[in-house]
Amino acid sequence: MGPSAASALSPAVTTADDRLGKVLTLAVSQSVDSLSPFLAQRLTSTTIHRLVYEYLTNYDPEDGRTIPGLATAWKSSPDKLTWTYTIRENSTWSDGKPATAEDAAWTFRTMMTNPDAATANGSFTANFREVTAPDPHTLVIRLKKPQATMVALDVPIVPKHIWEKVRDFSTFNNDRSLPVVGNGPFILTDYKVDQYVRLRPNKKFWRGAPKIDELVLKYYKDGDAAVAALRKGEVSFVPNLTPAQAASLKSAPDVKVNDAPGRRFLALAVNPGARARDGQRFGNGHPALLDPAVRTALFLAVDRATLVEKVFQGHAVAGQGYIPPRFSRYAWHPAPAQERAYDPELAARTLDAAGYRKNAAGKRTGKDGRALDFRILCHATDPHDKAIGKYLQEWWGKLGVGLTVECLDNITDPWLKGDYDLAFDGWSVNPDPDFVLSIHTCGALPATPSDTGSTDNFICDRTYDALYARQAAEYDPSARAALVKQLQSRLYDTGFMNVLAYPNAVEAYRTDHIAAITTMPAAAGNLWGQDGYWSWWSAKPAAALGSGDGSGDGVSTGAVLGAAGAVVLVAALAAWAVVRRRSSADDRE
């Protein structure tokens, strides 16, 4: 953004330096990768964008069904190639200008025409033929072929009058002019890298302003330090607790632990030979991992049940398919003949048969004489990674395979360069799985080695791509679910993604700070990383309760949705309308 951008900003908000009363502080351990909605892929970053910008649609916190956001209604043509959205009339940007259909059209067209602007969410617009705004309250999207995600376009809509000044979307971080202009329930007022993010309520938000005075995301590199701050009342909320931390907080005064089925998976990602769309290969992944026999043997030597029992102490479910069991429509389980269950003896025989035999020192080597010594990228702030790494060193060591666990504060740089053999990987999955499936397509690869694509792990498999294209255009819920399961089966068979576990969402908050708050889903749901802004928008500070019993003042789902209005769906989609969002895992957005 050029020098004139700052002068264009005149948000009608007070600064973060004002005296505040009801402040909620959230402890976070993950760095913000970007405050630009066009680039951000980490969960902390996309959570912030959920708070700052409206999306066309939102999701019912009760059950995840699609409800209005910036769009109040939508319909498709009979051939489902033209979609028309009615844009609400009561949404304004925080600088006072109205939010219109042209803002949405400009956002999508920019993603369609600028590869850098498509970095984070380009899979949504890759099939768009044309996007227009015939009037301020009508958005029209014409498609090349049917697209099943048209009621789940999880793309932050940005103000055209601010963002059209950006000259380079690959480097613009959206942190030069604060407060950031948005139209969501909060306004981003201050940001310091790996220190804090400060947000104030948007008093003009159409659904109603949040009930707190400020929301602060405070960075803690050490999880135990965050828990200690929670005990002291220095922070209001801590996500991603270890089993030991959760157990220690069960009896802590004024603290409530929330333990719910997770929407994340934790996996081992294998470097498949990093490459770009132009055909160039790069990175230094171990060539032996290109052999399916090696990948199969490694996975046969992983005891998922032990990881769930010992590492997660029961606060997880053993991994199988790519989609967590919380999303029953799409969850997949391998058939007995297909499953790679824990079998170290079969793992050893598999390596023997493939020619990787032990030398005099007990190390497996290939025909080229190179030892099977691998590296695995580990998040320094994640104790689960470290604990699992020790188990892998033990199990694979018995096979004659060496493993070095490289725990780094920043795994992004070596990952993007392809400088790894394996890595701990994970994403938060939404009820509609399109995005987390798209990141393994050939089209998600970077254009050149120096570019950044939306790929997760450089996988490019034409069979997988063909299945992905079929599910993306399939509107029948049962037929689409069957295709999604075939995709997971193919991903499982290639062996480049080995899902270890589905961790629970284990988090805690202070009841003397937060008197009422909305989980998603309402029954056994999470607070951090929701598909929407419900938790922090609805959070009622304890001080506002008066008597402290909260009677009649809690935030109910009915109250949340009462302002949403009626949802207009095409009849053919009524049963299908479900959420899709890459909120990405806590480690990779």
pLDDT of residue 161: 98
- Band of the pLDDT at 582, cuts 50, 70, 90? very low
Distance of CA 286 to the CA centre of its chain: 28
pLDDT of residue 562: 36
Q: Which of 120-134, 141-155, 254-268, 530-544 has the lowest mean pLDDT?
A: 530-544
pLDDT at position 574 over 50: no
pLDDT at position 452 over 70: yes
Give per-residue pLDDT as tens, 37-62: 999 988 899 999 999 999 999 999 99
Assign 526 to helix, strand or coil: strand
pLDDT at position 143 over 80: yes
User: Closest Cα partner for 310 from 378, 251, 424, 392?
Assistant: 392
pLDDT at position 13 over 50: no
pLDDT at position 281 over 90: yes
Is residue 165 classed exposed, middle or buried when 0-12, 13-18 and 19+ CB atoms within 10 A define those classes? middle
pLDDT at position 564 over 50: no
Cα 284 to Cα 271, 376, 426, 580: the distances in Å are: 9, 13, 22, 34
- Band of the pLDDT at 410, cuts 50, 70, 90? confident
pTM: 0.79
Cα 61 to Cα 74, 431, 519, 521, 555: the distances in Å are: 20, 12, 7, 5, 11
- Residue 135: CB atoms within 10 A of its CB come to 10
pLDDT of residue 67: 95
pLDDT at position 220 over 70: yes
Query: Cβ(265)–Cβ(585) under 8 Å?
Result: yes
Assign 378 to helix, strand or coil: strand
Q: What are phi and psi of 526, to 5 degrees?
A: -100, 165
pLDDT of residue 12: 34
pLDDT of residue 20: 56
What is the residue whose two structure tokens read 């407060």? Answer: 179
| CA triple 539-544-548, angle to 5 deg | 100
Q: What is the CA radius of gyration of the chain?
A: 24
Give per-residue pLDDT as tens, 173-211: 999 899 999 999 999 999 999 999 999 999 999 999 999
User: Closest Cα partner for 541 from 211, 231, 218, 216?
Assistant: 211
The dihedral formed by the CA atoms of 219, 422, 298 and 243, expressed in degrees to the nearest 10: 0
- Band of the pLDDT at 565, cuts 50, 70, 90? very low
pLDDT at position 120 over 50: yes
pLDDT at position 563 over 60: no
Q: How far is residue 567's CA from residue 66's CA, in Å, rounded to a whole number?
A: 8
Q: How far is residue 199's CA from residue 88's CA, in Å, rounded to a whole number?
A: 24
Peptide bond into 521 cis (omega under 30): yes
Sign of the CA dihedral 163, 167, 171, 172? negative
Assign 132 to helix, strand or coil: strand
Distance of CA 64 to the CA centre of its chain: 16
User: Closest Cα partner for 582 from 439, 379, 415?
Assistant: 439
By residue count, the chain amounts to: 589
Q: How far is residue 475's CA from residue 303's CA, in Å, rounded to a whole number?
A: 38
| Residue 579 vs residue 160, higher pLDDT | 160
